Structure 1
Amino acid sequence: MLTHFQWKNLYSDKGLPGWNVSFYYQKQLYRAIYHPNGTIEWTGNKPLYEEEESLKGSIHELMLYHVYDDK
């Protein structure tokens, strides 16, 4: 389970898509860039291969809720 999920716009022009995201998973801090096409680029620690797809799915769900459904 992800905890302390945070996101903020990547650019000062909030009309441009792209977001910095950060969260904790199993007491480890992860940071990434969430691109407009849904691609996730890890900028810090990268999760284990076995956990990466599950984490990406959780990030997608949270971004849909916080960014896209919030409009």
Structure 2
Amino acid sequence: MLTHFQYSSLYENKQLPGWKFSFYFAKQKYAGYYHQDGSIEWTSEKPEARDEEELKGRIHELMLYHVYDNQR
């Protein structure tokens, strides 16, 4: 389970796209950048290959909800 998900803008001008995020999964903290095109750049240790695709999907869903859906 992904817990303690946090995100913030990468830039002082919050109108520019790009966000940093962090969360815990399996007692390990992960962090990275979420780019406008939906790509993820890990700034922490990458999750194990068996978990990475599932985590990317969850991050994408959370970012769509928090960033894009809340702007309406």
5+ unaligned residues in a row in structure 2: which ranges? Answer: none
Cα deviation digits, residues 40-63 of structure 1 (max 9, x gap)? 000011100111000000000000
Alignment-derived partner of residue 67 in structure 1: 67
CA distance in 1, matches of 2:25, 2:66: 19
| Paired residues for 1:24-35 under 5 Å | 24-35=24-35
CA distance in 2, matches of 1:49, 1:21: 19
Aligned-pair RMSD on alpha carbons? 0.4
Alignment-derived partner of residue 8 in structure 1: 8
Secondary structure in structure 1 of the residue aligned to 2:64: helix
* 1:19 counterpart letter in structure 2: W
CA distance in 1, matches of 2:17, 2:32: 14
User: How far did residue 67 of structure 1 move?
Assistant: 0.4
CA distance in 2, matches of 1:35, 1:14: 13
| % same residue | 62
Secondary structure in structure 1 of the residue aligned to 2:16: coil
Secondary structure in structure 1 of the residue aligned to 2:6: strand
The 4+ residue runs of structure 1 with deviation greater than 2 A are: none
Provide TM-score, normalisation by structure 1. 0.98
CA distance in 2, matches of 1:55, 1:48: 10
